[in-house]
Every structure is written in C-alpha cells, then in structure tokens.
Amino acid sequence: MNYQKVLEEIQEEIQPYLKKGKVADYIPALANVKKNDFAMSIIDLDLNEYHVGSSQKEFSIQSISKVFTFTLALQNYSKELYKRVGHEPSGNAFNSLIQLEYENGIPRNPFINAGAVVTTDSLLSIYKETTFDYILQFIRSISDNKKITFDKDVYTSELKHGYRNLALVNMMKSFNNIENLTSSVIETYFKQCSIKMSTAELSKAMLFLANHGVNPINDEVLINEQKAKRINSLMLTCGHYDASGDFAYRVGLPGKSGVGGGIVAVVPKKLAICVYAPRLNKQGNSLAGTKALELFTSKTGLSIF
C-alpha cells in the first residue's frame, strides 16, 4: 500500500477542518502555537517512514504521556495497579471531580487526569525523586532519540494554572489513594505532560504497542503481550475521554489524544501513526486530527473492525 500517497491525499482533504475548533488556551503556553498547523506520520514495523506536514516539529504531548506512564506502572505493579485505578470508560470530562467523589477517589481509568495522576504517584513510590528522569528515559529509549526533553514554559504554565488537577490530587489524597506528597505528584505529572515530541518521534514511540509489547527497533520486550493487549484495549475504550465511543465508531483504532493537539494510534501487527493539529473539539481532542485518522482508516481499510 502506498502510505505516502494516502497521507498526501489526507493532507489535501483535511484543509477545511484546520480552521475549526479551539486551541487549549486554558493552559496559556498552549495558546501560542501556530493554530492551523498540521502534521501526520506513519512508521511500520519494518521501520519504513511516511510523513506529511511539519512532522519534525515538536509539540506538547500532554495526555499522550499517560500511555507511557501507564505502561511503566503496569510493568511494576501488574494487576495490583487496578486496585487504585479502574479500566472502565468514564463518560465524563477528562478532569471531572464529580465521578471521582462518588467512587471514593478511585479513578475510572488511567487515561483521564485523575487516573494518570494515580499512575504517576505509583511510580513515585518506587523511583522517588528520579521518577521524571525514569519516565523521560523510557520515552527516549522507545523513540530512539536521546534528545527528547520537556517544555519548561508549558510546565510552568501548568503549575500556575492547573487548579483543577490540584483539586483532583487533593481529593484522591483525602481518600488515601495518593501515597506521596501531592506537590511532588502534581509537579511530576505536569512535567510529563509538558514533554515535547514530533509526530515522527511519537509514531516511533508507539511501535511497541503495535508489536505486542516488543520494540521493533531493537527487539527488546518492553511489556508482555497480554499487558500490551490491555493497554491497546484501554486506548480504544478510554483514550479520547467522553468522546472515546465516537472515536472508536469513526476511526476504529486504539488511540490516545492530548490537548496539545496530538493523537497517536496503532494498527496491531502493522504500524503506528501520529497526527498533529492543535485546534480541539469540545471534548478536548484534535478536531482535524480525528478527521484525518477517520480518512486514513477509510482509505486503507485498516480499522480493527
């Protein structure tokens, strides 16, 4: 299949959608991006690469980082992790407090903010002050790029304006579902969300989930096949917050979005894909990015359904 031709067709067809939606200006540093930007990358398991747009341009990965921290938490805790964070769709906004209180501080899944904060806390219990370095080193390894780092301006902006996330971590602390200092947990969480990567780097970083947990770059087993299946399942059912069902309906791939405008997705045993378009829909997912992935599965027939 000519993936390059498919990407070029998508880039042309997506143009009317690039002016729709709104950037995540509630994090002031994210409001300064080039609002009509677009990039899309595919890397297959033979490491063939296909790109269109600004595919080398770095952007804030935000909630895409939750895939990586959840992977690391599963490596360390396995099924024990599910005592502190569930694996069901939330049906509510990604930063909702209401459901969290009803359910005694146990987040529905690791891809809403509260759930990701718990997985970060679980890593802090093991790696202490080196936790962020551990997360960053994992991402550098799977993307085969030692230069990946975080955006200090985005990090500072989140620290200054992340009141809802501070409320989430303190509520969970009140239910004894946060083990470490809330300040350490939230600082590490904000820092992981402010990691900056390109669509080229992110598509490479997701290859292990397209390959049953094995990194095709060096054949390293990062996570066993069963756990890789669980991660992909959760991306399919929970990766787009309260629009996860709609994304599964339209795109039909395991995927994870971030309010920085990125979306990653995998076609099991074939490839990983990443798209970037910073304007978001009402649920906080890239509007043009979602449409681009819908076009991709329609043109290639590579939906899992």
Q: Could you report the per-residue pLDDT of 250-303, keeping only the tens digit for each?
A: 999 999 999 999 999 999 999 999 999 999 999 999 999 999 999 999 999 998
The catalytically annotated residue of 60, 63, 90, 143 is 63
Q: Rounded to an integer, what distance in angstroms lies between the CA atom of residue 46 and that of residue 195? A: 27
Among 93-97, 148-152, 192-196, 282-286, name the one with the lowest average pLDDT: 93-97
Assigned domain for 41 exists: yes
Residue of higher predicted confidence among 62 and 94: 62
Assigned domain for 200 exists: yes
Our answer to whether residue 17 is catalytic in this structure is no
Range of the domain at 107: 3-300
Tokens of 274: 């990443």
Q: Which residues of 236-248 are buried (b: 16+ CB within 10 A; e: fewer)?
A: bbbbbbbbbeebb
Q: What is the mean pLDDT of residues 133-143?
A: 98
Q: Are 121 and 185 in contact (CB under 8 A)?
A: yes
pLDDT tops 90 at residue 48: yes
Tokens of 83: 């005592």
Q: Which among 116, 232, 254 has a CA at the least distance from the CA of 172?
A: 116
Our answer to whether residue 82 is catalytic in this structure is no
The catalytically annotated residue of 241, 257, 267, 286 is 241
**pLDDT at site 241:** 84
The catalytically annotated residue of 189, 204, 214, 276 is 189
First to last CA, the chain: 19
Assigned domain for 305 exists: no
The catalytically annotated residue of 259, 266, 267, 275 is 259
Assigned domain for 262 exists: yes
Cα 116 to chain centroid, rounded: 10
Number of domains in the chain: 1
pLDDT tops 90 at residue 32: no
Our answer to whether residue 259 is catalytic in this structure is yes
Q: Report the CATH number at residue 106.
A: 3.40.710.10
177-236 per-position pLDDT tens digit: 999 999 999 999 999 999 999 999 999 999 999 999 999 999 999 999 999 999 999 999
